[in-house]
Chain A
């Protein structure tokens, strides 16, 4: 049983092909780390999965339904949520408004109260405009906003980017609760150690293609590093 099936996906920006013939699957409750150097096509792939980038070719099947041409907001309704790179919060809205505005998806365990429980640092900030928050707090709101739609598939793009290590630790600790809630996760992460620790399976991309795929526990770190930097092509 697969929750997400990606088949022969091509994504382009004009003449530049960012994703080339990518195929992979994600099962229910699975955490998959998407790793690769800058420019490997990870963010574009994640945006295509979320409906924010229209693929040039290929198919995206979510829970048995072809969602390739479905708009982003409709995919949220089906249970696909993206925490975008750079957080992209609505700065003029308060923390609570940022959460509530996204809370029109599926019914499920996540609400403003449960998100604030997951990220206690937001409790005192709930009536503050999002623009006034620190980087870590903003990241917590971004994750909380995605959770408010009660996703079955959560896409996380570089959630540790620009954050202090101690804040990243706190965010990843909270992420464990999300994983336990049963949601599938596709995680784009530059920090290899952290990605291999959190994920059950790893997909490594290079120049738009998947060059390595396997169980995180069984992959040799040197082999991952080689695939990451394109020192040796592995399949």
Chain B
């Protein structure tokens, strides 16, 4: 059981990395980006292309892919998402849903529906592991946990210690007042989306290293990322890390009960959190009606 919890922490750290950008976009702009999983998969494909073209390690290829993904995020905000922000809650959902379909189909056209993996180009970190007191400690798991903690810590420091971070928090609280304080809210939103897409690409890198991906892998990743964000508390950065780990642990512990119960255990935890947060099952059902 202890080993299952440890594997859950490794898996949860991956979910947290995936969810980080989703949480940031919701926290700053109050939109749920339904294309977030597809943008993560797009990031994996960009890394894949760089690896294929240069023969570089997946990690080096990611350093090349990251600026491209950040630019994609910035442009995405200024061209598509910005127009949807003032049109109510539904419009950004529809726009990002449409974007999700576009990304999936473009990937299908360019790369075919075949599955790919970045595991072979990530070096020994993919396979290295140690047995410690009956626990199976994988090098990749350690790398993902460390990267996740560093990622969230850096983002937290950015938001709490820098003027750009204060501007982001101010804009998240009250965009009109932020404009009146001299903050360019358009620029803030574009930077937030750029960071979100950059972190999604990091999630895509880990997805490609630890398993396989294809053009339609995005929605599944979105579901796990969304569950991590909700379990951790919508818009809370550290909460997202905790939510991701809780989801991962639920899945691996669930797998101990029955291998096919893994994903269901995560969904049940998500549902339980929703029920508690909405004040009981009755309230949740009434709200749903």
| A interface residue numbers (CB < 8 A to B) | 50-52, 71-73, 76-77, 81-82, 84, 88-93, 97-98, 100-102, 104-105, 145-146, 149
Contacts and interface: CB of A to CB of B under 8 A. Distances in A.
Interface stretch (B12-20, B138-146, B163-171, B266-274): B163-171
A73 B176 CA distance: 10
Given A88-B177, A104-B163, A93 B182 contact: no
Given A71-B179, A92-B173, A97 B166 contact: yes
B169 A93 contact: yes
A90 B178 CA distance: 8
Given A52-B179, A104-B163, A93 B170 contact: yes
Main secondary structure, interface of B, reads: helix
Nearest to B160: A97
Nearest to B177: A88
A77 B179 CA distance: 11
B284 interface: no
B167 A101 contact: yes
A118 B167 CA distance: 24
B166 A101 contact: yes
11 contacts: A73-B178, A73-B181, A73-B183, A81-B180, A88-B180, A90-B169, A90-B177, A92-B169, A101-B167, A101-B170, A101-B183
A92 B178 CA distance: 13
The 10 closest A-B pairs by CB, nearest first: A76-B182, A88-B177, A72-B179, A102-B181, A101-B166, A90-B170, A97-B166, A73-B184, A90-B173, A73-B179
B185 interface: yes
B228 to A, nearest CB: 23
Contacts of B178: 73, 90
Interface residues of B, number: 17
Given A93-B166, A100-B166, A88 B174 contact: yes
Contacts of B179: 51-52, 71-73
Contacts of B169: 90, 92-93
A102 to B, nearest CB: 4
Nearest to B166: A101
Residue among B174, B177, B183 with the most chain A CB within 10 A?
A: B177
B85 to A, nearest CB: 15
A76 B157 CA distance: 27
Nearest to B172: A92
Nearest to A76: B182
Interface string B175-204: 011111111110000000000000000000
A63 to B, nearest CB: 17
B180 A82 contact: yes
Given A93-B169, A97-B166, 11 more contacts: A50-B180, A51-B179, A72-B180, A73-B182, A77-B182, A84-B177, A89-B177, A90-B174, A100-B163, A101-B167, A149-B182
A89 B166 CA distance: 13
A135 to B, nearest CB: 17
Contacts of A93: 166, 169-170, 173
